[in-house]
């Protein structure tokens, strides 16, 4: 069994499928909907499964890399502010990995990153979607946990409305959806 595993591993390395050597020295430019460009190096690219897969797909196109060593990728659905936040997270983790930063220091940085976002829940929800789309799994799971913790802290529907920025219940909404206001003490059923 071990011989088979070593054979598969050596075939993967020979065919260029090894992710550690496949993207060496490559750069990616991410373009947002307003044509702002973010230059990203390979250590940051590796934080996103989507970008890593995209870069590896282009690895097979030798004619593309003969012309340039930079891959330009449009990110039309992502605002520059969100992409900058996501890249700052990825950049920190890439740097922390190369500098052998302690897990305690990383956890402290992540806590401050999330605490900054808690004050702006719409941005947190958008960043959650972007991290899911680009498959930055560590950020995605961290933000999911943050949202779950925030939901647990909600004691009534008005807290929940503020959390997810749902407008207050008006008379018109109360008439259309009487179930929403039927609970006297305004607790989540």
Is the pLDDT score of 76 beyond 60?
yes
Q: Give the chain's mean pLDDT.
A: 77
The structure's pTM equals: 0.71
Percentage of the chain exceeding pLDDT 90 = 39
Span 136-157, pLDDT tens digits: 999 999 999 999 998 888 888 7
C-alpha span between 52 and 3 (Å, rounded): 28
Is the pLDDT score of 77 beyond 80?
yes
| Strands of the 37-41 sheet, one edge to the other | 37-41, 27-32, 70-75
Provide the sign of the torsion angle of the four alpha carbons 154, 159, 161, 163, taken in this order. Answer: negative
How large is the average pLDDT for residues 21-30? 68
Span 156-183, pLDDT tens digits: 877 877 777 765 666 766 666 665 554 5
């Amino acid at each position: 069994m071990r011989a088979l595993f070593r054979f598969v591993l050596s075939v993967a390395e020979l065919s260029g499928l090894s992710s550690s050597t496949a993207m060496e020295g490559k750069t990616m430019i991410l373009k947002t909907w307003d044509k702002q460009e973010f230059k990203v190096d390979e250590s940051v690219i590796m934080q996103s499964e989507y970008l890593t897969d995209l870069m590896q797909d282009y690895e097979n196109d030798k004619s593309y890399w003969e012309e340039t060593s930079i891959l330009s990728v449009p990110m039309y659905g992502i605002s520059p502010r969100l992409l900058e936040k996501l890249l700052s997270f990825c950049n920190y983790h890439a740097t922390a990995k190369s500098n052998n930063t302690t897990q305690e220091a990383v956890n402290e940085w992540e806590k401050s990153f999330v605490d900054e976002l808690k004050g702006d829940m719409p941005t947190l929800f958008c960043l959650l979607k972007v991290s899911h789309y680009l498959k930055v799994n560590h950020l995605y799971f961290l933000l999911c946990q943050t949202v779950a913790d925030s939901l647990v802290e909600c004691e009534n529907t008005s807290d929940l409305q503020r959390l997810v920025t749902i407008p207050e219940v008006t008379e018109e909404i109360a008439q259309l959806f009487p179930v929403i206001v039927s609970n006297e003490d305004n607790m989540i059923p």
